[in-house]
Structure 1
Amino acid sequence: MKKRKLILTLVIAFTVIFFATACGQKDLIEDERTITMGLLSGPTGMGAAKLMDEGVNLGENAKLEFNLYAAPDQISADIINGTLDIAALPTNLAAVLYNKTDGEVLLGAVNTLGTLYVISKEDAKIESVEDLAGKTIYSSGQGATPEYILRYILENNGIDPDNDVNIRFFQEHAEAASQFAQDLENVVVLPEPFVTSTLIKMDGIETVLDLTIEWEKATQGKSLPMGCIVVSKEFASTYPEALSYILEKYEESIEYVTQNPAQAATLIVQQGILPQEEIAENAIDGSNIVYISAQEAKDSLESYYDVLFKFNPGSIGGEMPDDEFYYSK
C-alpha cells in the first residue's frame, strides 16, 4: 500500500514538473517566421559573436538568422527593403534610416561607443589635443562621422582644423596607416580594429589619444555613441516579447565578449566578423563594446546628433530624430 502511494506521489510530482516546464517554454513567436539580424564586420558586430554561436529559442516555428555585411550601405538597403528585422550599424545611419522610412526604423540600444584613436611614434610627446597643433593628421572618413568628430574635438581645444593642423584624408583606413608609416613625425587617426593591426605590424608607435575620452571632455561628460542596434517598427510592435528576449540575449552576448576576450576572439573569427584571433582579442577592449538601452542613451545620442547636424544635416538624414525614434519596452 505504501509502495503504491509512493508511486502515485511520484507520478503526480513528475506531472506537475512537466506542465510547469511546458508552460515556461511558451513560444515567443507562434507564427512560422524567420527573424533576420544584420551585422557589420568589425566592432559593431563583435558583441554578437556569442549570440550567433548559441542562437535564440523563439519557438517551434520561428528562428533567428544572421547576415554579415562588409559595408553600411549594403545593410541599410536590406533594412529599407524589409529583408532585415534587426541590425547593428552606425548610430548616424540609424537616424538616416528613421527619417528615410518615415519612422519605420527604431533605435533599440547603443552597442558601441567611440572607436577612434590617435597614433604617433613613441617619443612624439603628444599628451593632449593641443599637442597636435602644427601636425599633419592622416585619416579616413572625409565627409563622414570621423571627420566631424575630429573637427569638433580640435575646435573645442582651441585648434582651427583648417589652419592649425593639416588633415589629409584617404579613402581607406589602410591607406591612412600606410602613409603614416612613411611619415612618423606626424600622426594618424584610426578606428579599431585597424588600431590593433597597425600596432602589431609596426614597431616604435603607440596610441596617444583616445578620441572617446576627448569627446567626453568636450561635451561635459556625454558619451560618444557610434554604433547601435535598430529594429523595424513592425517587428517591435508585432512581437514585443520576442524582441525583448533577443535584446536580453544580445546584452548577455556583449557581456561575455567583453569579459572573455580570448574565448570571444575565437567566436568572432569563426563567425567571420574579423579574420584573425590576435587582432580580435586585442581589439575588444578598445572597441568600447557596450549595451545601453535607447532610453538610457538618449541624452548622449541627441548631443551627438546635434553636433553631426551642425556639420552636415544630411549625416543624420536631414533632421533630428524625434522621441518616437528611441525604442522603449
Structure 2
Amino acid sequence: MKKEQKLSNRKILALLLALALMLTFAAACGNSMDDTPGTVSAPVNIAALNGPTGMGMVKLMDMADKYNITTYQAPTDIAPKLISGEVDVAALPSNMAAVLYNKTQGQIVAISPVVLGVLYVLGNDVELQDVKELKGKTIYASGQGGTPEYVLQKVLETAGLDPQKDVTIKWLANHADVNQKLLSEKGAIAMLPEPFVSTALAAGGDSVKQLFDLNELWNEATGQELPMGVLVARRGFVSDRPADLEVLLKDYAESVDFVNSNDGAGALIVEKGFIGKEAIAKSAISRCKMVLFTGTNAGEGADILRTFNQTLYDMEPASVGGVLPDEELYYTGAE
C-alpha cells in the first residue's frame, strides 16, 4: 500500500514538473514574440500615392500576409475607397485629412505626417538669396487649388510680397510640364516637389540650382514643419482594430528608418515603381523628409498637422473642407 502511494506521489510530482516546464516554455515564447513584428487579425488594406507620400512604406509592400497595398496617381482615386470602407488606411496630401474628416462627419482619423517639405524653388541660371528678390519674377508651378498654392502664398506673404501683384505665377497642368519649362528656359524659376527636383538638378547640370527650401520657409513663417503627406485611417478601423494599427505603425516606422538610412533603399523604391532611376531615387530621399510620429512622439505629429490646418483655414477655409477640424481628427497614440 505504501509502495503504491509512493508511486502515486511520484506521478503527481512528475506531472507538476511537466506543467511547470510547459508554463516556463510558454512564457519564454511569449517574451520572444514580443521582440518580433506582430501579426494582424486580417490583412490591412492600404492605399498610397505613387510619389514621396507613399515611398516610406516600401518595406511594407513585401509583407503581403499583413498588408494589401495599392498605389494611385491621384488622391481623388483614393478618397472614395476610403470613404466606402474598401480601404482601411491611406497616405494622402495633408489637407485631405481635414477635407475627408469634414466630408464624412468625423469618420477619418489623421494618424501622422509621413512626408515633410518636398517643395522647393529652383532656378535655371538664376541667383537669388532672399525670397523678397522674387518680386517682379515669374514662377512656374503646378498644383493650383491644392497645398502647393497655399504654401507658396504663405511664404510670399511672409516675405512681404503680394502673390497677386508682386509676382506672376503661371500654373501649369502638371509637374512634368513645370520641369520642362525650367530646363528649357534660361532665367526660369519653378516650384517643384521631389522627385522632380532631383530630376531637374540632374538634367540641368550646373545651370539649375535649388534656390529655396519651402519647408524651411514654412517653418520660419509658422513655427512648425510643413506636412506634405499624411497617414489617415477610417475611424472604424482605429476603434475596432487598435492592435492591428499598432502593428502597422511599428512596421511602418521601421520601413521609414530603412528608407532614410539604408543604401539599398533607392533600388527598392525603383523596384516598387515610385521612381524610374536609382540615382534619382537616392538623391530624392534626403529631400523627401519621410517621417512617422508614433508613441510618445504622436503628439508632435498632431501639432504639426494642427498648425498646418489652421494656417490653410485662415487663408482659404475651402482648403480644409470649409470647417476647421476639432481635436477628434488627430490621433495621439493608443489609449
The aligned residue for residue 20 of structure 1 is 27
**In structure 2, the residue corresponding to 1:155 is in which secondary structure?**
helix
Q: Deviation per CA, 1:131-174: give whole Å up to 9, x if none.
A: 21121111111121111110111011011112211111101111
Look up the match of 2:285: 284
TM-score (norm 1): 0.88
Gapped regions of structure 1 (runs ≥ 5):
1-7, 58-62
Q: 1:128 to 1:80 in 2, by over 3 A?
A: same
| Counterpart amino acid of residue 138 in structure 1 | Y
> Secondary structure at 1:176's aligned position in 2?
helix
Deviation of the 1:276 alpha carbon: 2.1
Q: Of 207, 213, 224, which residue of structure 1 is paired with 2:210?
A: 207
Question: Of residues 88, 93, 102 in structure 1, which corresponds to 2:91?
Answer: 88
Q: 1:13 to 1:278 in 2, by over 3 A?
A: farther
Q: Distance in 1 between matches of 2:299 and 2:87?
A: 23
Partner Cα distance (2:157, 2:115) in 1 = 24
CA distance in 2, matches of 1:268, 1:178: 24
Deviation string, structure 1 residues 181-205 (Cα, Å, up to 9, x no partner): 2322131100000001111122211
1:49 aligns with 2:50: no
- CA shift digits 1:2-34 (9 cap, x unpaired): xxxxxx9x988985564235545597545xx33
1:102 and 2:105 matched: yes
Relative to structure 1, the CA distance from residue 102 to residue 302 in structure 2 (aligned partners, 3 Å threshold; closer, same or farther) is same
The answer as to whether partners of 1:113 and 1:227 remain within 8 angstroms in 2 is yes
- CA offset at residue 298 of structure 1? 2.5
Deviations 1:242-291 (A, max 9, x none): 2112101101110111011x311111122222222222111000111111
Gaps of 5+ in 2: 1-14
| Structure 1 residue 34 corresponds to structure 2 residue 43 | yes
Quote the residue 2:5 is aligned against: none
TM-score normalized with structure 2 length: 0.86
Q: State the match for 1:148 in structure 2.
A: 150
Q: Choose the corresponding residue for 1:120, options 102, 119, 123.
A: 123
Name the amino acid aligned to 1:308: L
Residue type of the partner of 2:310?
A: D
Correspondence for 2:3:
none
Give the number of equivalent residue pairs. 310
**Alpha-carbon distance between aligned partners in 1 of 2:21 and 2:74, rounded to the nearest angstrom:** 53
Shift of the alpha carbon at 1:228?
1.1
Name the amino acid aligned to 1:250.
Answer: Y
- Is the counterpart of residue 138 in structure 1 residue 140 in structure 2? yes
Aligned amino acid, residue 307 of structure 1 = T
2:10 alignment partner in structure 1 = none
Aligned residue identity for 2:280: I
Structure 2 CA distance for aligned equivalents of residues 243 and 91 of structure 1:
19
Please name the residue that 1:227 is paired with: 229
* Alpha-carbon distance in structure 2 between the residues aligned to 1:212 and 1:183: 26
Equivalent residue of 1:291, what SS? coil
2:282 and 2:57 map into 1 onto residues whose CA distance is: 14
- Larger Cα Rg: Structure 1 or Structure 2? 2
CA contact (8 A) 2:124 2:185 kept: no
Aligned to 2:11: none
Contact conserved, 2:150 with 2:312, CA < 8 A, in 1? yes
